[in-house]
Amino acid sequence: MGALNPDFRFGNFVGSIIQLVLFILAFVTLLILPIIFFMLFFVPLPVVDGQVLTPYLFFSMMVDPSRTLPIVQFLIHTDLFRAAVFPGFAFGALVAASTIFIERKLLAKMQLRIGPLYAGKIEGIFQLLADGLKLVSKEIIVPSGADKMIFWLAPIMFVSTSAAVVALIPVASGWVAADVDVGLIAVFAILGFFPLIILLFSWASNSKYPFIGGLRALHQMVAFEIPFLLSALPVVIFSGSLNLSNIALSQNLFWNIFVMPINAFVFFISSLAELERVPFDLPEAESEIVAGWLTETSGMIFGLIQLGNYLKLYALAGLFVILFLGGWYGPQIFPQELIPGASASEDPLLRMVALEGLYNPVTINSIFWFTVKTFGIILLMLITRGINPRIRIDILLHTGWYKLIVLTFINLFIVLTLIYGGILGPEGLISAR
């Protein structure tokens, strides 16, 4: 506050506003209109509701409430929406963000603390927003002698690799960003990138603690990759498919966890190790090696790696649900119509409020049950963090190489016996098809 600038003239103020308006007008005529015309001439436009969707039609549809639904319906069935928003990145990031908040509150309650409290009126609900703003506005410090290119590229690689895993996870029948025939193998192939990225980042930091952390991460991830893959093998034998959607569809009678509980256990432990969570958080052991391979990160580089970590957490919890907990199957709890009698009525506004054509009770139900189960698994991972100490590295390697690999074979043989005994499987007594 204080006095006005002595050079202040009202005329200058008006002049600056006029200048701004002129600038916007020039921008629209010189850039935006040509882009629209370019689209009209060269880009084949999609057909929505029997009409070719031009930009002008798009704007007029957006302001007319009764015509908005077809365009929304069209948009949510595009590939871009699937990859970027719903089963893809934005949904994963939303789950990741809520996981971070739940984790902080839950761990605090478990340790008789309060947790985030001040940001936001109720229980510090805006803490995450405040943290995000802080991370964005902080300076990114690149350590001296660091390999700049790898140091900048590795966090971006980390997030995009996590997002690639998220893109493979189906949330309902047909709702998946990338429906790959070899989905399960693709997940493990992409997870194989993480040790490489972590090792390169820890080396590029040019510091001792990150390098020790990176080496630990490499040992840990390589040790647990084999039981991880082997524990998913009986599921593939059982459902006869590597496609994740088909694996989930094959469990409409009973969940896989009832047939192969040991494998589900091994998968859970291995995913904890893959995620570097307590009790396997040796790569980031903050009481021994500062923050492990994250020591030299600051600002948004730290933010990106955390985002990638929690995206990975969501993806692996979702994978557990798809492989062992029956995917998206659950009792139908959503009504057939959002507002009873809406589709028969003549009122366009009522039909719009009832989301006619958009609302599909089966899909909504699937998404609901998938989300509930995924959050259950995430909660299990968080509780494990709350009640366990960190284990020693030789015990960790011993667990991975000697115990878990052997454990995976028990259920493999049980499943093979059940299939060849003619009890389960495609041609068994209790057939899923």
CB of 147 to another protein, least distance (A): 8
User: Rounded to an integer, what distance in angstroms lies between the CA atom of residue 252 and that of residue 362?
Assistant: 14
208-267 positions binding another protein, by CB under 8 A: 218, 222, 225
Q: Which residue, 102 or 153, has its beta carbon nearer to another protein?
A: 153
| Alpha helix segments (H runs only) across 168-289 | 183-191, 193-204, 208-239, 244-249, 261-274
Residue 315 binds another protein, judged by CB under 8 A: no
CB of 127 to another protein, least distance (A): 37
CB of 49 to another protein, least distance (A): 28
CB of 323 to another protein, least distance (A): 17
| CB neighbour list of residue 132: distance below 8 Å, 6 or more residues apart | 303
User: Rounded to an integer, what distance in angstroms lies between the CA atom of residue 314 and that of residue 271?
Assistant: 11
Q: Which residue, 74 or 401, has its beta carbon nearer to another protein?
A: 401
Q: Which member of 168, 199, 235, 269 binds another protein (CB under 8 A)?
A: 199
Residue 397 binds another protein, judged by CB under 8 A: no
| Token reading at 84 | 């970027």
User: Applying CB under 8 A, which part among 122-130, 167-175, 189-197, 334-342 lies near another protein?
Assistant: 189-197
Answer for the pair 119, 132: CB distance below 8 angstroms, yes or no: no
User: Rounded to an integer, what distance in angstroms lies between the CA atom of residue 291 and that of residue 282?
Assistant: 10
User: Rounded to an integer, what distance in angstroms lies between the CA atom of residue 181 and that of residue 218?
Assistant: 29
Residue 195 binds another protein, judged by CB under 8 A: yes
Alpha carbon 387 to chain centroid distance?
A: 25
For residue 319, give the nearest of 132, 191, 194, 143 by alpha carbon. Answer: 191
Secondary structure letter of residue 48 according to DSSP: E
127-186 positions binding another protein, by CB under 8 A: 147, 150, 180-182, 185-186
CB of 40 to another protein, least distance (A): 23
> How many residues touch another protein (CB under 8 A)?
21
User: Rounded to an integer, what distance in angstroms lies between the CA atom of residue 377 and that of residue 169?
Assistant: 15
CB of 316 to another protein, least distance (A): 16
Residues that bind another protein (CB under 8 A): 147, 150, 180-182, 185-186, 188-193, 195-196, 199-200, 203, 218, 222, 225
